[in-house]
Amino acid sequence: MKCVILGLLIGLSAFAQKIQIESDPAVDFSKFKTFTIKPGRLQSKNAALNGELIRKRIDFDIQKYLSAKGLAFVPSGPADLNVLYTLGAVRGAQLEAYPAGWRGWGTRVVRVPFTEGTLVIDLRDPGTRSLVFRSIAREDKSDAAHVEAKLDSMVKKSFEKYPPKAPK
């Protein structure tokens, strides 16, 4: 019984991360060979998600996963793509009700705090100054330390579908 409950909890936590991908269907992504990372914006009131080390981790992950897709990193100077990102975190609380009391006839309501972390990664064509690819990764119902631990996964999943398939 414990194994079943543990399996369900692990399965539910896997779905806590949501990735939304948008891209310009008119863009030929095969023309992009290099990229540069512009300074990212960290917009969190939590110190665990708002510091120079977090920025370096996200930069490193972006560089690692885009390089794995065949793009070359250019530390300075002109590049085919400019990468910009924003990490934001919002604290909130959710009410959860569950049976309690004698024979479970009552209901107990508990306030459960959480932090929703959202990482938005934009790829822009500097020649046309237009947005060509956007990934929005959300990690919710957790605390800031959990969001910090999932940053690598958020970046990795953001680039799993890059380059997008050409429309038919």
pTM greater than the 0.85 cutoff: no
CB neighbour burial string for 31-64, b if at least 16 within 10 angstroms, e if fewer: ebeebbbeebebebebebbbeeebbeebbebbbe
Does any domain span residue 22? no
Residue 51: CATH number of its domain: 3.30.160.670
Does any domain span residue 9? no
Indicate the number of domains in the chain: 1
Does any domain span residue 13? no
User: What's the gap between Cα 156 and its chain centre?
Assistant: 8
Does any domain span residue 145? yes
Beta strands 34-37 and 72-73, pairing class: parallel
For residue range 69-114, list pLDDT tens digits in order.
Answer: 999 999 988 999 999 999 987 777 778 776 676 766 777 787 776 6
For residue range 154-167, list pLDDT tens digits in order.
Answer: 999 999 999 988 76
Does any domain span residue 137? yes
Does any domain span residue 68? yes
For residue range 27-49, list pLDDT tens digits in order.
Answer: 999 999 999 999 999 988 778 88
Does any domain span residue 119? yes
Does any domain span residue 136? yes
Report the C-alpha gap between 41 and 21 in whole angstroms. Answer: 20
Name the residue range of residue 126's domain: 32-158
List, in order, residues 6 or more apart from 105 with CB less than 8 Å away. 99
